[in-house]
């Protein structure tokens, strides 16, 4: 009776992956009809999936105006990364308390997979980078923490799609390796610092870019007004 995945589960997971892998860009409209047609189902299941995606912060639904891939403001983006760093520092702190052999093996296996993916499709690479952080959260065995970290990682992936460079490696595999090393040696201070630096550099790459994070229409037009 292994809870067979529901139909909306599949749609939810699929759209979520598409957003995280940057196939669906922020702002893209998500009409229920088209999606339903794409998956060969009716609009009902699509709606449920969209509702769940909205609660994850990946989709924005406006009454009577439909759903679209979310477009976090720059302020929301900074906020999301702030909280993510806060949450993941706790993850690292907890993991340092006691790292099991299995946990170490799982993390190292994941990093190896990340490394292999570097030579393949970038979409897969992007996804795996995020899943490394989710795996760490899961290893704390705290469901709540895992839930919040997972949401944060998803949201930050979306933010990278909106503000980051499309082809960035996004998450250095080497940095992941260093974090594991610190965890294994149970150096809590170092591990937390490494994680914070790691996320800091990811967010900096995304948010401090000078290239038009938010097209300021007024500014653009004013420069044309003088011409």
Partner DNA sequence: TGGGATTTGTTCGTATGTATT
Partner DNA sequence: GAATACATACGAACAAATCCC
Q: Which stretch binds DNA (CB under 7 A): 44-52, 74-82, 209-217, 219-227?
A: 44-52
* Among 2, 40, 63, 120, interactor with a second copy by CB under 8 A: 63
How far is Cα 51 from Cα 109, in angstroms, rounded to an integer? 34
Q: Which stretch binds a second copy (CB under 8 A): 14-22, 77-85, 130-138, 174-182?
A: 77-85
- The answer to the question of residue 148 lying near a second copy (CB under 8 A) is yes
Q: Do residues 95 and 136 lie in contact, with contact meaning Cβ atoms separated by under 8 Å?
A: yes
Q: How far is the CB of 5 from DNA (least distance, A)?
A: 9
Q: Do residues 212 and 200 lie in contact, with contact meaning Cβ atoms separated by under 8 Å?
A: no
How far is Cα 69 from Cα 62, in angstroms, rounded to an integer? 11
Judged by beta carbon, residue 152 or residue 157, the one nearer a second copy is: 152
- The answer to the question of residue 32 lying near a second copy (CB under 8 A) is no
- The answer to the question of residue 143 lying near a second copy (CB under 8 A) is yes
**66: Cβ–Cβ under 8 A, 6 or more apart, which residues?**
29, 30, 31, 32
Partner whose footprint covers residue 82, from DNA, a second copy, none (CB < 5 to 8 Å by kind) = a second copy
- Other residues' Cβ atoms within 10 Å of the Cβ of residue 185: 12
Q: How far is the CB of 54 from DNA (least distance, A)?
A: 11
- The answer to the question of residue 66 lying near DNA (CB under 7 A) is yes
List, in sequence order, the alpha helices (H) in the chain: 7-20, 32-39, 43-55, 74-97, 101-117, 122-139, 143-163, 173-184, 188-207, 217-226
Partner whose footprint covers residue 184, from a second copy, DNA, none (CB < 5 to 8 Å by kind) = none
């Amino acid at each position: 009776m292994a809870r067979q995945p529901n139909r909306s589960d599949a749609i939810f997971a699929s759209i979520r992956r598409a957003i995280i892998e940057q196939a669906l860009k922020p702002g893209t409209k998500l009409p229920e009809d088209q999606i339903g047609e794409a998956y060969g189902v009716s609009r009902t299941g699509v709606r449920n999936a969209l509702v769940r995606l909205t609660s994850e912060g990946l989709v924005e639904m406006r009454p009577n105006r439909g759903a679209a891939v979310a477009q976090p403001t720059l302020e929301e983006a900074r906020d999301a990364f702030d909280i993510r760093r806060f949450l993941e520092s706790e993850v690292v702190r907890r993991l340092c308390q006691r790292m099991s052999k299995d946990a170490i093996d799982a993390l190292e296996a994941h990093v190896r997979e990340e490394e292999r993916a570097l030579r393949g499709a970038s979409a897969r690479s992007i996804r795996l980078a995020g899943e490394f952080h989710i795996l760490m959260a899961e290893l704390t065995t705290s469901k709540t923490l895992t839930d919040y970290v997972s949401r944060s990682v998803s949201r930050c992936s979306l933010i990278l799609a909106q503000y980051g460079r499309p082809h960035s490696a996004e998450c250095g595999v080497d940095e992941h390796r260093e974090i594991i090393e610190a965890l294994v040696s149970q150096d809590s201070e170092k591990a937390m610092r490494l994680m914070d630096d790691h996320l800091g550099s990811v967010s900096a790459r995304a948010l401090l870019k000078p290239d038009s994070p938010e097209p300021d229409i007024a500014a653009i037009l004013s420069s044309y007004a003088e011409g």
